[in-house]
Amino acid sequence: MTRPGLTIALLTGLAQFGAIEAWADGALPQACVQRLAGKPITLVVPNAAGGGFDIYARALAPVVERISGVPVRVANMPGGGGKAALLRVADAPPDDAVMLIENSGDVVAELREDSSLGHSPEDLHVLGAILVEPDAWIGRPDLDLTAPDLPALVAAVSSVDANLAVVGLVAQATGLTVHFVSGYKSSGEQVAAIMRGEADFSPKSLGTAVQVAKSGDAKPLLVLSDGPVASLPGVPWLVGEGSFLAQRSANLTTEQRAKQDQLARLAVELSSGARMLFVSAQMQAETQDCLTSALDAALVDPAFSDAALAQGRPVTPKSAAEASEIYHDKIRAYTEAAPVLAELANQIQP
């Protein structure tokens, strides 16, 4: 349960007078407006104010507030590398309208790998997705991954474990030799490491890769997708027809190609970023349904996408059903990849 405070008290009082129903904009069924009334919605962000998740949350909050008729507050909980936020939602009592905005891959990885948290990925329920986009490699402007006799590459990363799929698995699938230099804390430091010549490339989200390409400090080398990406024209993609892998594996046997193709597709599944909205699976079903309805309307509302885009954050909304499918695909991919990633982790020493 959240610490209630004055908001709840005042809202409860107002709800008793029926005043609150007047606030909702009519996009939500009346039954939901009444169910949500008196319970402020909390949107938990696992980072400090100012980051990407925070921008999305603050753009979304007023829209959900207008649709649901109840106040929506954004709470930043960066503690414990975001685990405080994860636990806040996973441990929420059933009557608590608290949501988490987080990357699906991070949620799955943390809940699978850290048994001390006492939860599994299935303990969270997905209500929708804000953005689904592939990752990309950005690197030295003079680097060409398709060049013959490419020497061993150096990747600038924050930690090896967090980049096993996005770098290690891709390297294994494509036959590239990659060394990790881990400990570069921020995305900016990783780009600077490329500019100083300490590293050849670094994995980034598609949005960051597009920004970096604009600055000219580094260039997008490879998109970890199964097809070309419109926002990065001319940049090779990892797997599929005409892909980087197809070129690299042209001389291999069919069996070898199939194996590498499987690894590459696994890397694509694991690395793709999906910024989703989660609630506790224990949340009352009716409240969950009402929040889903509110988000379904809010995520496609132009007021949200315009506000996010104005701050350089694109939106590709997905409904609860679509997002849930993506989330469960992610859980399956992690289960499938676990032995491969464990073996990779043993091979790679920073």
What residues numbered 221-280 form the site for another protein, per CB under 8 A?
none
What tokens were used for 122? Answer: 């299935």
Which x/- pattern, by CB under 8 A, does the window 205-224 give for another protein? ------x--xxxx-------
Among 2, 104, 205, 272, binds another protein (CB under 8 A): 2
For 182, residues 6+ apart whose C-beta sits below 8 A from its C-beta are 157, 158, 159, 160, 163, 350
Should residue 312 be labelled a site residue for another protein when binding is judged by CB under 8 A? yes
What tokens were used for 97? Answer: 């309208």
- Least Å distance between CB 128 and another protein? 20
Per DSSP (E only), the strands in 184-282 are: 201-205, 219-223, 273-280
Among 20, 27, 39, 42, binds another protein (CB under 8 A): 42
Among 35, 58, 204, 248, binds another protein (CB under 8 A): 58
Judged by CB under 8 A, the number of residues near another protein is 75
Scan for tokens 């998109």, then name that residue: 223
Q: By C-beta, is 194 or 264 nearer to another protein? A: 194
On the 0-12 / 13-18 / 19+ scale of CB atoms within 10 A, 227 is middle
Among 36, 67, 74, 264, binds another protein (CB under 8 A): 74
Q: By C-beta, is 54 or 261 nearer to another protein? A: 54
The interface region with another protein, picked from 254-262, 292-300, 308-316, 333-341 by CB under 8 A, is 308-316
Should residue 117 be labelled a site residue for another protein when binding is judged by CB under 8 A? yes
Taking phi over 0 as left and psi of -120 to 50 as alpha, with beta for the rest, 179 belongs to beta
Nearest-angstrom CA–CA distance, 275 and 314: 11
CA quadruple 302, 307, 309, 313: dihedral, nearest 10: -120
Q: By C-beta, is 9 or 258 nearer to another protein? A: 9
Among 88, 125, 275, 330, binds another protein (CB under 8 A): 88
Which x/- pattern, by CB under 8 A, does the window 165-204 give for another protein? --------------x-xxxxxx-xx-xxx-xxxxx-----
Should residue 7 be labelled a site residue for another protein when binding is judged by CB under 8 A? yes
Residue type, 84: A
- Least Å distance between CB 283 and another protein? 15
Residue type, 290: C
List binders of another protein among 8-27 (CB under 8 A): 8-10, 12-14, 16
- Least Å distance between CB 197 and another protein? 7
Among 70, 87, 266, 297, binds another protein (CB under 8 A): 87
- Least Å distance between CB 234 and another protein? 20
- Least Å distance between CB 123 and another protein? 16
CA nearest neighbour of 88 among 112, 60, 123: 123
Nearest-angstrom CA–CA distance, 194 and 192: 5
CA quadruple 109, 106, 169, 313: dihedral, nearest 10: 170
Scan for tokens 């009334």, then name that residue: 37
DSSP 39-73: --EEEEESS-TTSHHHHHHHHHHHHHHHHHSS-EE
- Least Å distance between CB 12 and another protein? 5
Among 120, 158, 262, 284, binds another protein (CB under 8 A): 158
Judging by DSSP bridges, how do beta strands 124-133 and 135-139 pair with one another? unpaired
